[in-house]
Amino acid sequence: MKKIRKLPLSDLIFALISFSAAFVVLTLIFSTIIVLYNESSLAIHKFGILNFIFTVDWDPVNEVFGAAASLYGTLVTTVLSLILAIPLALGIAIFLTEISPHILKTPIGIAIEMLAAIPSIIYGMWGLFTLAPIMAEYVEPMLQKTLGQVPVIGILFQGDPQGIDLFTASVILAIMIVPFITSIARDSLNLTPNIMKESAYALGATKWEVVKDIMIPYAKLGIYGGIVLALGRALGETMAVAFVLGNNHQITTSLFDAAATITVTLANEFTEADTDIYLSSLFYLALILFVLSFVILAVAKFFLLKAERGYSR
Amino acid sequence: MNTKDIYKESPIVKRRKLISFFALSLSTAAAIFGLFWLVFILFDVLRHGIQGINWELFTEDPAPPGIPGGGLRNAFVGQLEIVFFATIMGVPLGILAGTFIAEYARGTKFAKTVSILSDIMVSVPSIVVGTFIYAILVKPIGHINLGGVVAVGFLSAIIAIIFGGILGFIVNKLFSIKNPATGRFINLLITLSSVLFGLFSFLYLMPKLVDKIQGFNGWAGAAALAFIMIPVVLRTTEDMLSLVPWTLREAAFALGASYFRVIKDIVYRAAATGILTGVILSISRVAGETAPLLFTSFNNSYFTMNMNEPIASLTVTIFNYAMGPYEDWHTKAWAASFVITFFILIVTILSRVIISWKYKG
């Protein structure tokens, strides 16, 4: 494209206005990290970085704060929800690209994406009033009877199932992130050139072999991107988790215990923080969450861009 | 003769077929399982929500805690107000920035940076946005409210842009200017007057807003939602503008139109449906946000339209009511959830239908 050399005044003005809008957007993004750092500087100076991350205590009375419990909760819910969501989401994506009758593809695709449109507060409420009782009544005791008896992983299923715990939170998160993985995986799978699929069929491959050996390797980068994007989403989810996690600052081995994530801690305690160091520590948590999700989302974006470039070649 | 009889299936082929059948059945089951959750959630919201829907829900303010009756008028009005101001702040900024990176800065490093960063910002945890807005618009009580000053400056800039746009439009409609020199002069006058107008609105709004705002306030809630809308609107605008064929612009350039005119009369017109749909989608996205409102607009159990005060929103009310101890509160929370969920679903489906009708058909 050629640059237009002489700009009329109206152009100059409009270019200037739209440039300042773009500049404001950039400034907003950068000022987020600066402001968060500035607000948390008190806690950063008092607790340091590694010390803060590895301290389990969260004691507003004695003004000792550490992120370990919140980080642990965030980590466990995110990883568990990914473990639950990935197979389901990939299965749906394969169904939508290869199995579903043509006429059903769009309605089912939209229906799955509707899961992403439901506000997280609805998930939270539904989780608290409907899913948690079901979990406590049926699913968790059942898991205890089966997986709980297995020697090593049995530790994960100890305790008295209440429904308000890490496991329920992860299940809700998994439902929430399925549409993100599904829609990106479906789009990537759809981009597999027909000629490659046809060649494989001509060699006598079954449909599953085509999916497994041709389409998934081809769509690999896109699928990774979708998964990492979902990871970033799960990390920052607040309301859905806030209802069913119980805001309990402890590190537990059992999935059937109440816990806290960074987001839940922020949501529950931000308005209650009465001392400067308390508030500053909360900002510190927000900063950690921001940096963490920013990096993860950047990685996701990297995969997706790379995938895009690969497909267009 | 049957084709099956031509060759005998070896056990290996049989096994492969069986595996294929099994795997594909599993993935069909996954799709059914996924749909099951959607139906489960929607049905549950419908079942519980419908019991709480009545006329009083929309027309009455909440009764004192524990006493049945009353409604959520304050939350409905507050929600509308917050989302309205968020839209006013976020949409023009998003569209303008999107226009800049898709048109004037097309293909440059700057455009790519903004585009990628906004893509990341679309998915950044909304609660972090809440903490950021809290730090700049809620926390500074007593000493100089720098964030407030910036926000008012920002607001007056938008007012100035809108004012200039309207003025230019009126002048264009009333007088047809042939002489380019006069045209330029008049453009300059319009610009100067809108800059002055913006300055005056800044000076006028400053004492009205910044000094009056104490702690949690509706403006902060609207700003937080606007923050979330901006990247969404920006990316949609960028995508929709790049869908407009470059030849269309060239045709207009060939007629001697300035780039501004091309954008205004050709590109925007061609991309209008797409941009509008993006705006609607971004509104429906922020309409269900709770986390950024928790400590910006906070909550208010009384009816208020004053954005300088804490203001109730549907989502925060749902959170508080659902966590609360009263049965009546739970019913109301479900009813509010019902309203918000089906509003968002209908808007989302409608805009998807519009997009597919416009861009695929």
DSSP 8-state code for residue B101: I
In whole angstroms, give the CA distance from residue A210 to residue B20. 10
- Residue A301 one-letter amino acid: K
Is the per-residue pLDDT at A289 higher than 80?
yes
Q: How many CB pairs under 8 A join A and B?
A: 276
Please report the pLDDT score of residue B9 as a whole number: 72
Mean pLDDT of B310-321: 90
Enclosing H/E stretch for B41: helix B11-52
A92:B27 CB<8 A: yes
Contacts of A117 in chain B (CB under 8 A): 284, 344-345, 348
Find the CB nearest B107 among A1, A38, A95: A1
Q: State both tokens at B268.
A: 């925007």
Compare all CA atoms of chain B with the CA of A111 and give the residue at the minimum distance.
Answer: B35
On whether any CB of chain A is under 8 Å from the CB of B77, the answer is no
On whether any CB of chain A is under 8 Å from the CB of B89, the answer is no
Mean pLDDT of B312-332: 89
Q: Which CATH superfamily is domain B78-139+215-358 in?
A: MetI-like (1.10.3720.10)
Using an 8 Å Cβ cutoff, are B326 and B270 in contact? no
Compare all CA atoms of chain A with the CA of B333 and give the residue at the minimum distance.
Answer: A125
CA distance, residue A285 to nearest chain B CA (Å): 9
Query: Testing the interface with B: which of A1, A11, A17 to mutate, by most B Cβ within 10 A?
Result: A17
Compare all CA atoms of chain B with the CA of A94 and give the residue at the minimum distance.
Answer: B27
Handedness of CA B28, B33, B36, B37 (dihedral sign): negative
CA distance, residue B237 to nearest chain A CA (Å): 12
Q: What is the pLDDT of residues B195-235, one digit of tens each?
A: 888 788 777 777 666 666 667 888 889 999 999 999 999 99
Find the CB nearest B188 among A9, A35, A282: A9
A119:B27 CB<8 A: no
B35:A263 CB<8 A: no
CA distance, residue A105 to nearest chain B CA (Å): 11
In whole angstroms, give the CA distance from residue A35 to residue A11. 35
Contacts of B138 in chain A (CB under 8 A): none
Number of CB atoms found within 10 A of residue B266's CB: 17
Please report the pLDDT score of residue A76 as a whole number: 92
Please report the pLDDT score of residue B175 as a whole number: 72
Using an 8 Å Cβ cutoff, are A161 and A140 in contact? yes
Please report the pLDDT score of residue A1 as a whole number: 47
CA nearest neighbour of A155 among A55, A260, A251, A54: A251
Assign A270 a pLDDT band (cuts: 50, 70, 90): confident
For the entire predicted model, the pTM comes to: 0.87
Q: Which of A289-298, B82-91, B134-143 has the lowest mean pLDDT?
A: B134-143
B34:A207 CB<8 A: no
Using an 8 Å Cβ cutoff, are A7 and B259 in contact? yes
Contacts of A213 in chain B (CB under 8 A): none
What share of chain B has pLDDT > 70, as a percent? 91
Number of CB atoms found within 10 A of residue B106's CB: 14
In whole angstroms, give the CA distance from residue B216 to residue B220. 7
B28: Cβ contacts below 8 Å, ≥ 6 apart: A95, A99
Mean pLDDT of B291-307: 84
Using DSSP, state whether B249 is helix, strand or coil: helix
Assign B150 a pLDDT band (cuts: 50, 70, 90): confident
In whole angstroms, give the CA distance from residue B19 to residue A33. 51
Q: What is the 3-state secondary structure (H, E, C) of chain A?
A: CCCCCCCCHHHHHHHHHHHHHHHHHHHHHHHHHHHHHHHHHHHHHHHCCHHHHHCCCEECCCCEECCHHHHHHHHHHHHHHHHHHHHHHHHHHHHHHHHCCHHHHHHHHHHHHHHHHCCHHHHHHHHHHHHHHHHHHHHHHHHHHHHHHCCCHHHHHCCCCCCCCHHHHHHHHHHHHHHHHHHHHHHHHHCCCHHHHHHHHHCCCCHHHHHHHHHHHHCHHHHHHHHHHHHHHHHHCCHHHHHHHCCCCCCCCCCCCCCCCHHHHHHHHHHHCCCHHHHHHHHHHHHHHHHHHHHHHHHHHHHHHHHHHHHHC
In whole angstroms, give the CA distance from residue A127 to residue A119. 13
Query: Testing the interface with A: which of B7, B19, B27, B235 to mutate, by most A Cβ within 10 A?
Result: B27
CA atoms within 13 A on the CB side of A301: 18
Q: Which of A121-130, A230-239, B10-19, B156-165 has the lowest mean pLDDT?
A: B156-165
In whole angstroms, give the CA distance from residue B170 to residue B164. 10
Assign A296 a pLDDT band (cuts: 50, 70, 90): very high
DSSP 8-state code for residue B7: S
Mean pLDDT of B50-62: 85
Residue found under tokens 């010390």? A51
Residue found under tokens 């989403």? A233
For B124-185, the DSSP string reads S-HHHHHHHHIIIIIS--SS--HHHHHHHHHHHHHHHHHHHHHHHHHHHHH-----HHHHHH
Compare all CA atoms of chain B with the CA of A282 and give the residue at the minimum distance.
Answer: B131
On whether any CB of chain A is under 8 Å from the CB of B272, the answer is no
Please report the pLDDT score of residue B170 as a whole number: 80
Taking chain B, what is the end-to-end CA distance rounded to the nearest angstrom?
46
In whole angstroms, give the CA distance from residue B174 to residue B169. 9
Is the per-residue pLDDT at B60 higher than 90?
no
CA nearest neighbour of B285 among B226, B359, B204, B223: B226
For B259-327, the DSSP string reads HHHIIIIIIHHHHHHHHHHHHHHHHHHHHT--HHHHTTT---SS----TTS----HHHHHHHHHHSS-H
Is the per-residue pLDDT at A194 higher than 80?
yes
Using an 8 Å Cβ cutoff, are B345 and B353 in contact? no
On whether any CB of chain A is under 8 Å from the CB of B193, the answer is no
Q: What is the pLDDT of residues A13-68, one digit of tens each?
A: 788 888 888 888 888 888 898 989 988 998 999 998 888 888 888 888 888 898 89
DSSP 8-state code for residue B216: S
Looking at per-residue pLDDT, the higher value among A250 and B149 belongs to A250
For B54-86, the DSSP string reads -HHHHHSPBPSTT---B--HHHHHHHHHHHHHH
Q: What is the pLDDT of residues A85-104, one digit of tens each?
A: 999 999 999 999 999 998 98
B41:A126 CB<8 A: yes
Kindly report the backbone phi and psi dihedral angles of residue B321, in degrees, each rounded to the nearest multiple of 5, phi listed first.
-70, -40
- Among B residues 319-358, those touching chain A with beta carbons less than 8 Å apart: 319, 322-323, 330, 333-334, 337, 340-341, 344-345, 348-349, 352, 356
Is the per-residue pLDDT at B5 higher than 60?
no
Looking at per-residue pLDDT, the higher value among A196 and B168 belongs to A196
In whole angstroms, give the CA distance from residue B262 to residue A205. 53
